Amino acid sequence: MTNFPWNRRHIISLEDFAPSEYESVLKTALSFQDVLSRRNKKVPTLQGQVVANLFFEPSTRTRSSFELAAKRLSADTLNFSPGSSSLSKGETILDTAKTYLAMGTDLMVIRHKGSGVPATIAQEMDRLGSGVGVLNAGDGQHEHPSQALLDLLTICNALNPKQPTIDDLRGKKIAIVGDILHSRVARSNLWSLTACGAQVHLAAPPTLLPKAFIEAFSQPIRTGSRSVQRQVFVHWQLEPALKDADFVMALRLQKERMSAHLLPSLREYHQRFGITRDRIQKCASTVKIMHPGPTNRGVEITSELMDDPHLSLIGKQVASGVAVRMALLYLMGGSKNGDLSR
Q: Which residues bind its own copies (CB under 8 A)?
A: 36, 38-42, 47-50, 58-61, 64-65, 67-68, 71-72, 76, 78, 80-81, 83-86, 89-92, 95-96, 98-104, 252, 255, 293-297, 315-319, 321-322
Closer Cβ to its own copies, 13 or 96, answer by number: 96
Closer Cβ to its own copies, 25 or 46, answer by number: 46
Beta carbons of 276 and 300 less than 8 angstroms apart: no
Question: How many CA atoms does the CB half-sphere of 324 hold within 13 Å?
Answer: 29
Closer Cβ to its own copies, 65 or 302, answer by number: 65
CA angle 305, 310, 316 (to 5 degrees): 90
Q: How far is the CB of 214 from its own copies (least distance, A)?
A: 28
Q: How far is the CB of 122 from its own copies (least distance, A)?
A: 17
Q: How far is the CB of 157 from its own copies (least distance, A)?
A: 14
The residues, ordered by sequence, that sit 6+ positions from 281 with a Cβ below 8 Å of its Cβ are: none
Q: How far is the CB of 60 from its own copies (least distance, A)?
A: 4
CA dist., res. 143 & res. 136, Å (int): 8
DSSP at 28: H
Q: How far is the CB of 216 from its own copies (least distance, A)?
A: 27
- Using H for helix, E for strand and C for coil, what is the string for 264-290? CCHHHHHHHHCECCCHHHHCCCCCEEE
Beta carbons of 165 and 156 less than 8 angstroms apart: yes
DSSP at 330: I
Closer Cβ to its own copies, 190 or 324, answer by number: 324
- Length of the chain as a residue count: 342
Closer Cβ to its own copies, 69 or 245, answer by number: 69
CA dist., res. 179 & res. 251, Å (int): 6
Closer Cβ to its own copies, 98 or 243, answer by number: 98
Q: Are strands 133-139 and 199-203 parallel, antiparallel or unpaired?
A: unpaired
Q: List, edge to edge, every strand of the sheet that includes 50-55.
A: 76-80, 50-55, 107-112, 133-139
The residues, ordered by sequence, that sit 6+ positions from 143 with a Cβ below 8 Å of its Cβ are: 12, 13, 14, 15, 136, 184, 187, 188, 191
32 three-state secondary structure:
helix
Q: How far is the CB of 321 from its own copies (least distance, A)?
A: 7
The total of other beta-carbon atoms located within 10 Å of residue 320's CB is: 23
DSSP at 170: T
Q: How far is the CB of 237 from its own copies (least distance, A)?
A: 26
Closer Cβ to its own copies, 58 or 210, answer by number: 58
Closer Cβ to its own copies, 37 or 218, answer by number: 37
Q: How far is the CB of 294 from its own copies (least distance, A)?
A: 4
